[in-house]
Structure 1
Amino acid sequence: MTSTNRPTILLLAGHWLGAWAWDEVLAHLPADHARAVAMTLPGLDPDDRGRTTRTLDDQVHAIRDAIAAHGDEPAVLVAHSGANAPVTLLLDRHPDLVTRVIWVDSGPVADGSVLAPDLPVGVDELPLPPFDDLARQASLEGLSDDVLKRFGERAVPEPGPVLRQAVALSNDARRGVPTTLVCCSISGAQVQALVQAGHPMFAEVGTLADLDIIDLPTGHWPMWSRPRDLADVILSAAAKTA
């Protein structure tokens, strides 16, 4: 099968990250897979002078534009961590344009969710916290000192409007899009237990009609700790709906 028969794979990293975060994963994808594209979401381009005003809606529009730019055919979306909010919104608004969503140590958010509800209105942006603080929020397992240094140097503060905007969902068709959960810092068994327990963070997972769960044990940033393995998982999941 040639690359033109394959769906576009759009890679979206979480908070503070741009397209550069996927460089090592892209290096492990086949050379003929020309339709794997890493995106920098609006608000995370350090050269964008208006980036602190960017919203979740801006990010959704950018993802929609990226799909249009690659033939306007259903794409595979790979969403890491905090990319879950714009990708959930894209699924709600355009479920027909997504052939599969692959959540990387992440998952869909529920209606009304706000990424940082306690962020004061006057705060324009949220910078990457010190790594000691970050480690209390998410696992840094598998990240070398060099990787952490690069993370700290290249991280872009997250725009305040993105963190304060509530996710408004209305289209149940989003739940029918084939879904793969790649579980890294917590296992698939733990995710399933949290779903069964009714944990609000995993409420949407329990509503998905077509769900695969894959364990890739490592920290919260597998694109750096296990890039080859993550590339293999992405290609395998994408092939199921190609």
Structure 2
Amino acid sequence: MDILLIAGMWLDGSAWDEVVPEIEKLGHRPVALNLPGQGDGNTAATLDEQVAAVVAAVDAADGPALVVGHSAACQLAWLTADRRPEAVARVALVGGMPSPSGEKYFGFFEPVDGVVPFPGWEPFEGPDSDDMSDAVKESVAAGAIAVPAGITQAVAELTDERRYAVPVTMVCPEYTPEQAKEWLAAGDIPELAKCTDVDYVDIDSGHWPMFTQPVELARILADCAKA
């Protein structure tokens, strides 16, 4: 199965460099996506352009694809399921969850001169990054890509209720499957509460398992592709 990999804020397709060969060993076809506004110099890139790029990758896949979103890009993966519910075999959400239609894509940090730069590691101290060495943190920060405001400030619109029939796997890094289930039961993840097929997988990592647990993350995603 084609496994489409979408990295979260400040990252591009290279974030999956250690995951891709492990997925290949397990017999699947990983595609680490580089989207508009991810290192191409296009500071005017929009969320609609990113959605279109992922949808194009789904359309080009050899059969229904597994779409993997990390962190904020979980919303991007879910938007893709909304646009192509018949062509997305499953959505894997790594360290994130989709928001309801009409909410801002990523409003946690305000843009500066039209982009949202990487804010440094201070906002992510604790369980998010405790498993990352100083060297890994330095490498990630050095390669961080400022995200255009046209992406972060855009309102995500979901329109096709067939998305609720697309199977979903929540990959739980800095939180547990039990916590995710509690949030779902409490109504904190209304999009997933409407889904007919949601399962949960634990991974012993912080928020960026592609850097700290690439082999285990690849195994989990390969299992998702078989499910």
Scaled to the shorter chain, the TM-score interval is over 0.9
Asked if structure 2 preserves the Cα contact closer than 8 Å seen for 1:57 and 1:86, the reply is: no
Q: In the alignment, which of 2, 16, 21 is matched to residue 15 of structure 2?
A: 21
Q: Is the 8 A contact 1:16 1:155 kept in 2?
A: yes
2:33 counterpart residue number: 39
The one-letter code sitting in structure 2 at the alignment partner of 1:147 is V
Cα 1:159–1:97 shift into 2, 3 Å: same
Instruction: State how far apart, in whole Å, the 2-side matches of 1:96 and 1:8 are.
Output: 15
Deviations 1:144-176 (A, max 9, x none): 111111101111001101111111112111011
Give identity over the alignment, percent: 33
Show the counterpart of 1:127.
Answer: 117
Equivalent of 1:77 in 67, 71, 92: 67
Q: What is the Cα deviation at residue 19 of structure 1?
A: 0.7
CA distance in 1 between counterparts of 2:204 and 2:111 reads 37
C-alpha change, 1:32 and 1:215, in structure 2 (3 Å) is closer
Distance (Å, rounded) in 2 between the aligned partners of 1:215 and 1:32: 19
Query: Matched residue pairs, number?
Result: 227
Aligned-partner SS, 1:205: helix
Following TM superposition, by how much is the alpha carbon of 1:31 offset from its aligned partner in structure 2, in angstroms?
A: 3.6
Match of 2:203 in 1: 216
Query: Residue 4 of structure 1 corresponds to which residue in structure 2?
Result: none
Compute the TM-score of the two structures, normalised by the length of structure 1. 0.87
Deviation of the 1:108 alpha carbon:
2.0
**Hey, what does 1:183 align to over in structure 2?**
172
User: Structure 1 unaligned runs (5+)?
Assistant: 1-6
1:16 and 1:156 in contact (8 A); partners too: yes
CA distance in 2, matches of 1:131, 1:120: 16
- Report the 3-state secondary structure (helix = DSSP H, G, I; strand = E; otherwise coil) of the residue aligned with 2:99: coil
**How large is the Cα RMSD of the aligned pairs?**
1.9
Q: CA 1:148–1:93 in 2, change beyond 3 Å: closer, same or farther?
A: same
Question: Once the 2 structures are TM-superposed, how far is the Cα of residue 122 of structure 1 from its aligned partner?
Answer: 7.2
> 1:197 matched to which residue of 2?
186
- Correspondence for 1:156: 145
In structure 2, runs of 5+ residues without a counterpart are none
Secondary structure in 1 matching 2:4: strand
The answer (yes or no) to whether the contact 2:28–2:222 under 8 Å persists in 1 is no
Question: Which residue, 205, 213, 224 being the options, matches 1:237?
Answer: 224
